[in-house]
Amino acid sequence: MKKLNFYLSMFLLLSLFSLDSISETINRKRMSELKQNLNSVDVTRIKVTDFSWKNNSKYTLGLFEYVEIQNNSDFDYKDIVLEISVYTADGTLTLLTVPIEGELRAEEKKRFIEIQTPILSFSPDKTSINIVSANLIESEEIFSLKAKNVVDILDFDYVVDNTTTNTIIVNKLTLINRSENSFEELEGTFNFLDTNKRIIKSVRFSLRGVIGAKETKVFKDFNISGAQIDFFSDISYGVSNGKLINPREYLDKGGSKEYVSKNSEFESFSDSPVPNLDLIIKDFVIINQIKSTVGLVDIYLSNTSNYKYKDIVISVGYKNSSGTTLTSKKIKIKDLIQPYSDKNFKSNSLGMIELDFDKLSLSVVSAKMVGEVKPRKKTKFKEKSFSTSKGTVKRMNLEKEKVPDIDSKIIVVESDIKELGSIKVLNTTNYEIFDLILRVDMYDDENSLFKTYEFKVDGSVAPGRETTFRSISFNDSDLQQYVNSEIKIMSGKKAKN
């Protein structure tokens, strides 16, 4: 009996330990996700599921009876901004940006009533709505992640030069970070007070460098301009803002290991996702750089981390023969790269080349980390679906003939299958092309083909111009499984001579 009681006690103890361990893991994952959304909310988990126009008459303020939004995340949001795409009968697109009032709780589906738009220049033939931005609602969790709540000024030694430029000369500014997190781009405010402690003027300041968990840091000998007052009795001051960074970023920007918290909810600093460190451009080859055509470049990337990344943003610098940067832009690779792997991303569009250049410089700016995905069984059979894009210009009674080698004449410039259902193509010929048939091969997280869509576009692509086909319909269950795709131009027609 004593043995039985002992085993029961041990079983209960181990069960409690296991539950605590699971709970701790869940909390750490939640906090890690929260931190990644703090600086820029990932709106892909907030979806418009339904809407209904109440008034969409021409030359009036548009009004939706309701817009229904589903929050598939664990967090509460406010300040949601909609991007409303409205189309004329011939497919002309106008974008409307509309902020909506109210809050959206975690895992909530909510109808926002009476949403007003700007004046409509036409009565829409077709409408689609996407979420473009949102802010997290303040909570106890978020409170501890804001620099203004956890970074304090301990000491402030200054002189105000009233005789010349009214500049504040700061001899020493001492900050303490009372949190387990790291910050950069700290900003603060000096408030100049009169004898009744009322604010006469406020002057903002910013600090270069980083501050780590529980770190006390001294900034010396810098100036703050803009005081421009003849008299004040006292100064109050405080930190007002700062960008949350993870431990790897903190160390990479000159921080000390001494101030990397072992209790940080980010995973260990050697294993935190930092795309611009994890993704390395090993090589690139310019495929096309002819002026007034679409530039193309192959980019060979290496992922040195154990994270999957997608939507990789690359900064492109256009340089002359002496190495001077003429201009720069950003491009996005919407494909996926697996952990600890190399991949050659081919024929990435640089957009229309508007100037002559001799060479390029490339660097990784950012990327989206792909969360854990449950393994899926490989599909044994390829299934074809057909969908027709609406809102295009129809040409009646026009004799047409098939365009030979269509895939070399129509180039897929970019696409957003999952979020916008859009595909942008470029017509490289000097004639109009009609009746395009596109094929989209969908691949899952194991890079296995699981679905093929073919759809016909009953419209045209003007010579030498780019055209975007939007709101292409894909099955929701396929989009959930979808990770990347390959898009092929199957056929097209031109006017018969």
Q: What is the pLDDT of residues 332-365, one digit of tens each?
A: 898 889 888 889 999 999 988 888 898 898 989 8
CA distance 138 to 9: 42
| Max Cα-Cα span within the chain | 98
Sheet (strand 77-87) strand order: 93-100, 77-87, 126-136
Is 275-370 the same fold as 143-269? Answer: yes
Give 66's contacts (C-beta < 8 A, 6+ positions apart).
50, 51, 52, 111, 112, 113, 114, 115
Rounded (5°) CA angle 274-276-277:
65
| Fold of the CATH domain 384-495 | Immunoglobulin-like (2.60.40)
pTM over 0.95: no
- Three-class SS of residue 407? helix
Short-list 257, 169, 150, 160, CA closest to 200: 160
Q: What is the mean pLDDT of the chain?
A: 79
Residue 2: is its pLDDT beyond 80?
Answer: no
| Fold of the CATH domain 143-269 | Immunoglobulin-like (2.60.40)
Report the range of poorest mean pLDDT among 151-160, 223-232, 276-285, 404-413: 223-232
pLDDT in tens, 14-41: 555 444 444 444 455 566 666 666 666 7
Residue 262: is its pLDDT beyond 80?
Answer: no
Stronger pLDDT, 44 or 426, i.e. the higher one: 426
| Fold of the CATH domain 43-137 | Immunoglobulin-like (2.60.40)
- Three-class SS of residue 104? strand
DSSP string of 441-490?
EEE-TTS-EEEEEEEEEEEEE-TT-EEEE------HHHHHH--EEEEEEE
306: which 2 tokens? 């154990």
Domains of the chain by residue range: 43-137, 143-269, 275-370, 384-495
| Fold of the CATH domain 275-370 | Immunoglobulin-like (2.60.40)
CA distance 267 to 59: 54
CA distance 10 to 322: 74
- Three-class SS of residue 22? helix
